[in-house]
Amino acid sequence: MLARLDNEVFFKKAFTDKIVFKAFVKDIVGIEVDPERIETEKAFEPKIGSINFKYDIFAEDPKKRVVIEIQKVEYDHNFDRFLHYHLQAITEQQRSAQNYFVDKTVYTIVIMTAPYKLNKKTNEIYKDEVLISSLNPKNLKGIERRIFNHELIYLNPNYKGDATPSNYRDWLDLIYESIHNPENPTLNLANAGIKRVTEIADMKNVTPEEWEMAKIEVMKREVITLERAEERTEIAKNLIDLGSDDEFISKATGFSLSEIAKLRDDEIDEK
């Protein structure tokens, strides 16, 4: 059984593997990379501007900078958010530059695992598996001049298209099948990168610690989407009834230990 790759714990476990990372970048971007290290929760210090950015997966080799970001919940500000991520990875290089030359080409790959919502700016619903944005200018004849070469790539497996090339198809199917058909996924195992992911993300290879972290991640994400405090309280009470310890409940709901203690007292009083 394949672990769900819309869970950050399993996603990071698979995509921080060097074989998987290199194969994924080669298929999606079309370049060979040899990262010195693959980092998670990467943040630039000191930070740029007033926003505290953290990249889920970040890697670079001596010549190329590659950023991979996974976003599981579809918010209206997604496109703007990742434009900021992409531009920060470019402008951060100016800290040590002696001139305006940006030494490393930046590729930001965003994996969306939820259908797109209505775009409030255009009132459109996008239904594209692959969207690619570059900073290269075009002349008046519409001809693109490859000056910068940076690319921001969005992948969304919820809109399967017949014309999608196999280099994208393999990875889009991997994400989709892990979510919707994890027990019997239909995948191209002839792709060495895909095969490697199925080995790493096989539920048989998930440690108890990773499973615990994955459950906490699911609960945290559910809490983030809640709009009312009552719903968050209800989750905490259910966890109390299930016998969860205070630290686990705190991580899952964001409540402090003192708040959880009060909820426990309230539960006792109600009974």
Residues 108, 240, single domain; the answer is no
- pLDDT tens string 125-145: 788 999 999 999 999 999 999
- pLDDT tens string 9-57: 999 999 999 999 999 999 999 999 999 889 998 888 877 766 677 888 9
**CA torsion 151→142→168→24, rounded to 10°?**
-20
Write 211-215 long-range contacts (CB < 8 A, 24+).
Answer: 213/9, 214/3, 214/7, 214/9, 214/10, 215/252
Answer yes or no: is 37 within a domain. yes
Residues 198, 141, single domain; the answer is yes
196: confidence class by pLDDT, cuts 50, 70, 90: very high
Q: What is the mean pLDDT of residues 78-102?
A: 80
Residues 170, 258, single domain; the answer is no
Domain containing residue 159? 8-206
pTM for the predicted model, two decimal places: 0.78
The Cβ-side half-sphere exposure at 81, using a 13 Å CA radius, reads 17
Residue 223 reports pLDDT greater than 70: no
Residues 41, 122, single domain; the answer is yes
Residues 24, 62, single domain; the answer is yes
For the chain, the domain total comes to: 2
Q: Lowest-pLDDT range, 85-89, 158-162, 220-224?
A: 220-224
Q: Write out the H or E segment, with its range, that includes residue 11.
A: helix 8-15
